[in-house]
Chains A and B, each alone.
Chain A
Amino acid sequence: MNLNSRIILRDSILLILGIILGVLTINQYQATQQVIALTSRDTTVSLVRQLHLIVSANRDLKNEISNLTESLTEIQTGRNAREVARKAIERYRLLAGEENIEGKGINLSLDLALQPIWLVDLVNELYIRGAEKIALNGILLTDHSSFALSEGVPYLNANLILNTPYTLQVIGDQTTLMQGLTKRGGILDRLKEQFPGSEDKFSLEAKDLVQLPSKQIKSS
């Protein structure tokens, strides 16, 4: 091999080496971005998902308008005022957590020492995915429920110690709950990413009957 050939060969090797390093740099950057996205508490939802959420919300609002109009007509015509009031009271007692309730839903169990922020995020995600009522470790969550960490111990409602495994019993649309929770990049994936080696610490199950206590009663 003459001198010129050697120089060309050496230069080519350098060029290829540069290309390889450049590709590796780009891959590393992309991988880092993916890790940031996965470990972040929030992922930005797509426009299509936003559309789906708002269409669904508007459909529910139209149903509510229809129900309210019907109730109003019944009361104004004096036909069934007491029955309308009784039904409304019953519904609001369910919503306020003043009754033991039941329905289709899911059970989600996490044998992980999660910080309260993750419980806050989980509850948010469950409602996004169609939850109607949620209990954590047998305690019904209400509009006043809170999570806290004090000296390393997680608390619910400031005075109930939360022990692992955390069991979330959820009444709501089974299909959307199961699909939403198990989807790629969803909250369970983010938790698994956050807690490496925790794949077997999660248990998710659709249930035909989930029974939740009223807000005053601790069932377990």
Chain B
Amino acid sequence: MPNSIKHFVLFLLGISIAILGSAVVAVSPLARPTLGPAEPYQELTASLSELQTEKTVLEDQVASLRRQLKVAETDALIARSELQKLHNLEEEVGLTAKKGAGVIIALEDVPGGALSTEVPEEVCHAANLRDIINLLRLAGAEAISINEQRILLSSTTICIDNGILINNTKSLSPFIIKAIGDPDTLRDFLTTKSYLPQIQQRKDQGSLKFEINTSADLVITEFKGQLTTKEVRLAKTK
């Protein structure tokens, strides 16, 4: 064997040893004493699933109680003006379903589509959803939901391994976003390329489905979660 080839083979062998060594260290129990076994992972996943189910049940109970309370308030001897004020406020804070014209957006990965080099391989749409919500508000949306979760300012979107937590509820692609507002204005904002550059770029590359349809008859569900007022109170000095 010529010396040059022999040297090259030795050099490659060295690199291979280093890579193999790193791989062995990375997966060894010594390197990750807490992540090795699959069992804790499965237990955690099962617990999460149970908690999510419990959360759905609790949210339905909250929504049901709020509806019952509304009926009871109407039947009770409360002044009509007070009642109207109460119902207007419930609508204002998102506790009643809202109907009207608007847009329906579908956001979904295209399997096998080319990914942008600027987007990490593990695509997570949480930031994309936040950008769309922000743009819809800029365009004058009166109410927004994603996969039937009503979106308020306090709604959070959090990236998780295989989906997104929206209002702390696990949500999977495709993401169906509904927004009530002037359909033409909403569509114009959503289709202006400079507003959602990353989404538009991925759509153009064929790696993301981003479809917008207008509708004259949308229903956006009420917020079913807890509205937190633990710390906030009326200011003493106005």
Determine whether B131 belongs to the interface, using a CB cutoff of 8 Å to chain A. Answer: yes
* A173 in contact with B83 given A14-B11, A124-B157 (CB within 8 Å): no
CB of A58 within 8 A of CB of B55, answer yes
Contacts of A85 in B (CB 8 A): 73, 76, 78, 82-83, 86
* A92 in contact with B55 given A23-B22, A120-B130 (CB within 8 Å): no
Determine whether B30 belongs to the interface, using a CB cutoff of 8 Å to chain A. Answer: no
Determine whether A144 belongs to the interface, using a CB cutoff of 8 Å to chain B. Answer: yes
Contacts of A11 in B (CB 8 A): 6-7, 10
Contacts of A61 in B (CB 8 A): 55, 58-59, 61-62, 225-226
Of the listed stretches A36-44, A160-168, A198-206, chain B binds A36-44
CB of A58 within 8 A of CB of B233, answer no
CA distance A173 to B41 in the complex (A): 30
Determine whether B160 belongs to the interface, using a CB cutoff of 8 Å to chain A. Answer: yes
Q: Which of A15, A47, A91, A104 contacts B13 (CB 8 A)?
A: A15
CB of B65 within 8 A of CB of A53, answer no
CA distance A27 to B233 in the complex (A): 52
Determine whether B93 belongs to the interface, using a CB cutoff of 8 Å to chain A. Answer: yes
CB of A103 within 8 A of CB of B14, answer no
Q: Which of A18, A89, A121 contacts B12 (CB 8 A)?
A: A18
Determine whether B217 belongs to the interface, using a CB cutoff of 8 Å to chain A. Answer: no
Determine whether A216 belongs to the interface, using a CB cutoff of 8 Å to chain B. Answer: no
Determine whether B66 belongs to the interface, using a CB cutoff of 8 Å to chain A. Answer: yes
* A171 in contact with B168 given A22-B14, A72-B69 (CB within 8 Å): no
Write the B44-88 contact mask toward A (1 if CB under 8 angstroms, else 0). 110110011011001101100110110011001110001101100
CB of A22 within 8 A of CB of B234, answer no
B residues 140-168 with Cβ under 8 Å of A? 142, 152-161, 165, 168
Determine whether B15 belongs to the interface, using a CB cutoff of 8 Å to chain A. Answer: yes
Contacts of B165 in A (CB 8 A): 45, 50, 53
CA distance A132 to B228 in the complex (A): 6
Write the A182-207 contact mask toward B (1 if CB under 8 angstroms, else 0). 00000000000000000000000000
Among A19, A63, A147, find the residue whose CB has the most chain B CB atoms closer than 10 A: A19
CB distance from A220 to the nearest CB of B (A): 15
CB of B19 within 8 A of CB of A127, answer no
Q: Which of A57, A98, A124 contacts B130 (CB 8 A)?
A: A124
Of the listed stretches B101-109, B119-127, B208-216, chain A binds B119-127
CA distance A44 to B59 in the complex (A): 25
CB of B231 within 8 A of CB of A173, answer yes
CA distance A134 to B6 in the complex (A): 67
A residues 78-121 with Cβ under 8 Å of B? 78, 81-82, 84-86, 88-96, 98-105, 116-117, 120-121
CA distance A175 to B152 in the complex (A): 24
* A145 in contact with B137 given A57-B168, A89-B85, A120-B131 (CB within 8 Å): yes
Determine whether B185 belongs to the interface, using a CB cutoff of 8 Å to chain A. Answer: no
CA distance A97 to B216 in the complex (A): 30
Q: Which residue of B lies closest to A57 (CB)?
A: B168
Determine whether A1 belongs to the interface, using a CB cutoff of 8 Å to chain B. Answer: no
CA distance A81 to B82 in the complex (A): 11
Contacts of A43 in B (CB 8 A): 159
CB of A22 within 8 A of CB of B15, answer yes
* A54 in contact with B48 given A18-B11, A171-B232 (CB within 8 Å): yes
Determine whether A137 belongs to the interface, using a CB cutoff of 8 Å to chain B. Answer: no
CB of B235 within 8 A of CB of A100, answer yes
Q: Which of B93, B159, B225 contacts A57 (CB 8 A)?
A: B225
Q: Which 4 A-B pairs have the closest CB atoms?
A: A18-B14, A22-B18, A81-B76, A92-B89
21 contacts between A and B (CB under 8 A): A11-B7, A18-B12, A18-B14, A18-B15, A19-B15, A21-B18, A53-B168, A54-B55, A61-B58, A61-B61, A61-B226, A64-B227, A65-B58, A81-B72, A89-B82, A96-B89, A100-B235, A101-B232, A121-B127, A128-B158, A143-B94
